[in-house]
Amino acid sequence: MSDCHGHDHTKDHTKDHEHDHCTGHGADSDAATRAAIAASGADIATLLHSCPMHPEVEQAGPGLCPDCGMALEPAVPTAAIDDTELADMTRRLRIASVLTSVVVFLAMGEMIPGVSSVVDRIGTPRLRGWMQLLFTAPVLFWAGAPLFERGIRSIIGVRFNMFTLIALGAGTAFVFSASMLLLPGLYPAALIGVEAPLYFEAAAVIITFVLVGQVLELRARSRTGEAIRTLIELQPPRVRRIRADGSDEEVEVAEVRAGDRLRVRPGERVPVDGSIETGNSHIDESMLTGEPLPVSRTTGDAVTGGTLNGSGSFIMRAERVGEDTILSAIVRAVADAQRSQAPVQRVADAVAARFVPAVVAVAAAAFATWLLLGGDQRLASAVLAAVSVLIVACPCALGLATPMSVTVAAGRGAGVGVLIRDAEAIEALAAIDTVVLDKTGTLTAGKPELDAVKTLGDLDPDTALRLTAAAERGSEHPLATAVINAARSRGLNVEEPEVFTSEPGQGVQATIAGRSLRVGNIGWLAAGGVDTAPFESLLAEETADGSGRVFVAIDHQPAAMLVVRDPLKERAASSVAALQSLGMDVWLVTGDARATAGAVAAAVGIGPDRVEAGVLPTDKAATVARLREEGRRGAMVGDGVNDAPALASADVGIAMGGGSDVSLKSATVSLVGNDIYGVVRALRLGRATMQNIRQNLAFAFGYNLLAVPIAAGALYPVLGLFLNPMIASAAMSLSSVSVITNALRLRRIDLDPEAGRAPATT
């Protein structure tokens, strides 16, 4: 079944918008619609609507899809739930149920023991027939008006869909029955038998069951949007802004501007993206990253809008607000992904395009066959078979098979920090067999840290660190940053150098409080006339683990060696193991030296024959291309900036996202958090989604292949069974609901089984 607006509501918007703004297919028409809305000064987020089954169909405002007849939905979801359509359909269903019960009682009550005498007292069969007509008419022409409206539109526009079959089936049953009452001599007795057959109850029950399906589907479909609504609701509606005089004022979050100072109290959500000015706390970022453990944040740290503050209180400076926040970017990405189509959907679309004409042909053939071979009541049998075929066929289940799974999967991924750009990426994820990993920022933290200070002679380690940090103040090298941060964290006074010179790639020379320092690699010190032989004793204590080493000479004498390491991410090794357990061939491709790359690969469980070191960004893309030429389906995982060529050339590019940036341009999949395990979640989600889609398609195809022949009367010669149109209607309605229900199972899939728990869901 499918969504449909309440009759009056649809009519209002259809007249104003549908023919003027409804686009055809393709990117050009989408762009034209968006441009027209923007030119009018209206808000695209609130006005643009699209079809959930045909996302290429867009228009300004609500209306009906010209292809499938479904009601258009907001292209950009909002936190508010519009239940107007559900309320309207529920009202129609309630009234139709009462009237249909009366019709069924009048038509079939005489076949029920103990009730037949009551029915007989009502009047003659002909009078009861007129009463059935009286009660059936409002069921069809008021309660079922939206369904008939869509069916008529589909016929006029020659874009057949499920509403075509509903209108033809229920309409045929009603017209045939009405003609029996109004024109009793119209049909020869040889065709209708002794008693004229009436199918008012079938027509009424068909419409009622379709309305039941509408209500069930509307409720089920609303659940597919819960994930994105939950994300939208993460941003608090109001926030405490600090005035210039230091006092607080409560304002709407929409009033916050970049640069504003905001107070976040314990238990409140961070309103926008920014950084902490004063205070500290532990912040729960699980709704954005999928990680359940709160993370420590203190002065200078970045915080993300939508995350939940713990027991601490802090003042933050707003930096990104409104549509520029990470949360807004996530919502847009999920909305775009939910509106996209997977390549597998093309199969369903190709079948659906020919499905309705084929069903009509089968119904006509069944009608003709039973009219010739149906015996005394052959006309009644022919009408029964034709109506059953028209009603039982359900192209909507076929059309919903892919979009529903994609919609749920996109929301599920967002709930664990995995943003999937479109449905094609989901299908590609399911086929991946090789994962290529960058090192820095992917397997390692990307933020070098001081590991040890080793000194020669009687030099104090803190003195060596203080002087080295002062010498490095003018350097932008990552190792220099690690040294300076370590000195400051120990409370050491990092002085401004009196003299400073730098040789890129080599080191620095500076004068601190009258003392000359030369800091850098061992060759840089040797080139300056420093005797480097004493450093051999310090090097002998270190293992070849790829750590960075900063050599220090003070007053031209060897003084100290600082060891700096880029630590592995907490779940790097377990993530690689999980990828390998999924059957992935895992590679490490990095621009770092062989020793560093080899040490990291060994630490996480990647074999030495799967390591390529010292490569440029373009060489990474070449490596990915070579693997593809070998027949592999590869995913490249990098930071989304210097790995952009490789991310773009891979079958799936997965960009690691830091707390301050989410790359959505070069990669087809982006990880909101910096956890490498997000790659495992993405691959598991892709596989589960494609399995779910195949299940839905198999059910939709299998249902029709089985139901249509039975409805046509194929079992009657063998078992004497004829599918009643009422049963056909119930089966048709429930088939679509079954597809949606199966898709909703993706909300509960465990993407993190190694942890022994299901990650946070939306």
Residues acting as catalytic residues: 438
- Contact in structure between 678 and 290 (CB atoms under 8 Å): yes
Torsion of CA 594, 598, 601, 606, to 10 degrees: 100
Query: 711: how many CB neighbours lie within 10 A of its CB?
Result: 31
Three-state helix/strand/coil letters over 171-211:
HHHHHHHHHHHHCCCCCCHHHHCCCCCCCHHHHHHHHHHHH
Query: 189: how many CB neighbours lie within 10 A of its CB?
Result: 10
Q: In the chain, what is the straight-line distance between the N-terminal and C-terminal CA atoms, in Å?
A: 25
User: How distant, in Å, are the alpha carbons of 13, 50, 359 from that of 44?
Assistant: 17, 12, 39
| Residue 758 DSSP symbol | P
- Contact in structure between 64 and 100 (CB atoms under 8 Å): no
Tokens 């079938």 identify what position? 202
Q: Tell me how far apart the alpha carbons of residues 25 and 489 are, in angstroms, rounded to a whole number.
A: 59
Identify the three-state secondary structure at position 114. Answer: coil
- Tokens in use for 475? 């350097």
- Contact in structure between 550 and 562 (CB atoms under 8 Å): yes
Please tell me the chain's helix, strand, coil percentages from 3-state DSSP, rounded to the nearest 5: 55, 15, 30
Q: Tell me how far apart the alpha carbons of residues 677 and 697 are, in angstroms, rounded to a whole number.
A: 31
Q: Tell me how far apart the alpha carbons of residues 141 and 203 are, in angstroms, rounded to a whole number.
A: 11
Instruction: Give the residue among 302, 318, 198, 298 at the shortest CA–CA distance from 257.
Output: 318
- Contact in structure between 372 and 378 (CB atoms under 8 Å): yes
How big is the CA angle at 101 (ends 99 and 107), to the nearest 5 degrees?
Answer: 105
Beta strands, E only, 46-104: 48-50, 58-60, 73-74
Q: Tell me how far apart the alpha carbons of residues 41 and 31 are, in angstroms, rounded to a whole number.
A: 16
User: How distant, in Å, are the alpha carbons of 572, 584, 619 from that of 569?
Assistant: 5, 20, 25
Q: Tell me how far apart the alpha carbons of residues 703 and 732 are, in angstroms, rounded to a whole number.
A: 9
- Name the strand (E) or helix (H) holding 719: helix 716-719
